[in-house]
Amino acid sequence: MAEAPLDALRRVMAALRDPNRGCAWDVAQTSASIAPYALEEAYEVVDAIARGDLGDLREELGDLLLQVVFHARMAEEAGAFDLDDVARTIVAKLVRRHPHVFEPDGTLLPAGSPRRDARAVEAQWQAIKAAERAAKPSRAPAGPLDGVARTLPALTRAEKISRRAAGYGFDWSDAADVVAKVREEADEVAEALAGDDGQAVAEEIGDLLFSVANLARHAGIDPEAALRAGNDKFVRRFTAMAARLEAAGGTLSDADLAAMEAAWIAVKRAERGEA
């Protein structure tokens, strides 16, 4: 009988970590030393999805899975838990957080059971998570916004923090109110710039970005994905602008701001299909 792929992965990881016959680099690692790779691999998964490259996605998911197996193997060596425990924990969590789908023992609810819409499901999910946090033992009293990982990208963390606060009712009524807040924060940035106070400018720009993350949440937009798309758009347009300048006999390095602006506007018009 052929070895199951996940069993083969576990076996290979255990061999790499063997202190006598394994790989010196793998043996030397700790969860702390390889932690950055988990973030890197997760971003590469997202990039493959954004590019619609299923071949790359398969490979990048494998790299991300390796991080899970690597950490689980080190925990197993320390006698803490193993990969099966990781799987059991997430299965139990999924069952617990989907009472509209599963019985407490993990079996599916009977056919014809009432279904909840997405909004009700999300509210239920947040309530269950809040109850789980409250039930966890803690050395210090947990604050209402604790548990949102500080290692998340700042825009993503801002969206999650504001979503958590909104769950307590601390939120704007609609997106138009958030737009007004964004304008208010932009005005405060301008005031700070006029005062020539670097620390104040940094603080006000942080407030502005936090408000923009809130605006994205109200609009149903992932702010991190929106910024990635904005970055890609700028790169695409800047590259096209440089090509236009070269086609006109100039170079990007030699062009003045007026020439670059004219080429930039031409690129935007071309994207819109305008003459």
Where along the chain do its domains lie?
Answer: 5-135, 154-221, 226-271
Average of pLDDT values for 56-85? 97
Average pLDDT, the chain: 91
Mean pLDDT of 238-250: 93
pLDDT of residue 147: 79
pLDDT attached to residue 143: 81
Which CATH number, 3.20.20.80, 3.40.30.10, 1.10.1060.10, 1.10.287.1080, labels domain 5-135?
Answer: 1.10.287.1080
How far is it, in rounded angstroms, from Cα 249 to Cα 251?
7
pLDDT band at 138 (very low <50, low <70, confident <90, very high): low
pLDDT reading at 77 higher than 80: yes
For residue 275, is pLDDT > 80? Answer: no
CA distances, 267 to each of 51, 226, 248, 256, 264 (Å):
22, 21, 14, 17, 5
Look at residue 273 in the predicted model and tell me its pLDDT: 86
Quickly name the fold that domain 154-221 has: Helix Hairpins (1.10.287)
Confidence of residue 184 (pLDDT cuts 50, 70, 90): very high
Query: Whole-angstrom Cα distance, residue 120 to residue 228?
Result: 30
The Cβ of residue 54 has, within 10 Å, a number of other Cβ atoms equal to: 10
**Orientation of helix 223-247 relative to helix 257-271, angle to 10°:** 110
Which range (27-36, 107-116, 161-170) has the least confidence?
Answer: 107-116
Given a cut of 90, is residue 274 above it in pLDDT? no
Residue 153: predicted pLDDT? 87
Burial class (CB within 10 angstroms; exposed 0-12, middle 13-18, buried 19+) of 216:
buried
Phi and psi torsions of 102, nearest 5°: -120, 150
Alpha carbons within 13 A on the beta-carbon side of 102: 12
When pLDDT is cut at 50, 70 and 90, the band that residue 11 belongs to is: very high
Shared fold status for 5-135 and 154-221: yes
Grade residue 131 by pLDDT with cuts at 50, 70 and 90.
confident
SS (H, E, C) the chain: CCCCHHHHHHHHHHHHCCCCCCCHHHHHCCHHHHHHHHHHHHHHHHHHHHHCCHHHHHHHHHHHHHHHHHHHHHHHHCCCCCHHHHHHHHHHHHHHCCCCCECCCCCECCCCCCCCCHHHHHHHHHHHHHHHHHHCCCCCCCCCCCCCCCCCCHHHHHHHHHHHHHHCCCCCCCHHHHHHHHHHHHHHHHHHHHCCCHHHHHHHHHHHHHHHHHHHHHCCCCHHHHHHHHHHHHHHHHHHHHHHHHHCCCCCCCCCHHHHHHHHHHHHHHHCCCC
